[in-house]
């Protein structure tokens, strides 16, 4: 298995985990509907946290999908801004990053 294949598998696994997490979060949010008002007020805060989790996961999913496209196009591992090769240590930490450490926002 080449390192790129391993990376692709890693990204796909992560994508599946995120999809499952988003589905679980949505199910959790839906299950909060149609309860009495007192309970609803307490749950509101928890829901906001859940929504944040969902948003973060969706953002990460977008980044992972873009990374998978770059793998297909043979551009993976190169900075989308300056074209430099992204270090292995950085990719281990952030396998979906499109930028080298110098260009990262």
Note every long-range contact of 74-79, with CB atoms under 8 Å and residues 24 or more positions apart, other chains counting.
Answer: 76/4, 76/7, 77/4, 79/103
Q: Is 85 in the site for Zn ion (CB under 5 A)?
A: no
Q: Is 100 in the site for Zn ion (CB under 5 A)?
A: yes
CA dihedral for 88, 54, 50, 21, sign (positive or negative)? negative
Partners of residue 85 on adjacent β-strands? 78
Q: Is 81 in the site for Zn ion (CB under 5 A)?
A: yes
Determine the Cα–Cα distance for residues 63 and 105; give it in Å rounded to an integer: 14
Estimate to the nearest angstrom the gap between the alpha carbon of 28 and the chain centroid: 19
Q: Is 55 in the site for Zn ion (CB under 5 A)?
A: no
Nearer to Zn ion, 54 or 77 (CB): 77
Q: Is 82 in the site for Zn ion (CB under 5 A)?
A: yes
Cβ at position 87, least distance to Zn ion in Å? 11
Cβ at position 60, least distance to Zn ion in Å? 20
Interacting residues with Zn ion (CB under 5 A): 79, 81-82, 84, 100, 103
């Amino acid at each position: 298995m080449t390192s790129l294949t391993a990376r692709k598998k890693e990204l796909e696994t992560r994508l599946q985990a995120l999809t499952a997490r988003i589905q679980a979060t949505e199910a959790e949010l839906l299950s909060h509907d149609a309860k009495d008002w007192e309970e609803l007020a307490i749950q509101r805060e928890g829901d906001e946290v859940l929504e944040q989790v969902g948003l973060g996961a969706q953002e990460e999913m977008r980044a992972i999908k873009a990374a998978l496209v770059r793998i297909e196009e043979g551009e993976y591992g190169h900075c989308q801004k300056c074209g430099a090769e992204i270090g292995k240590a950085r990719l281990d930490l952030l396998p979906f990053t499109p930028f080298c450490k110098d260009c990262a926002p």
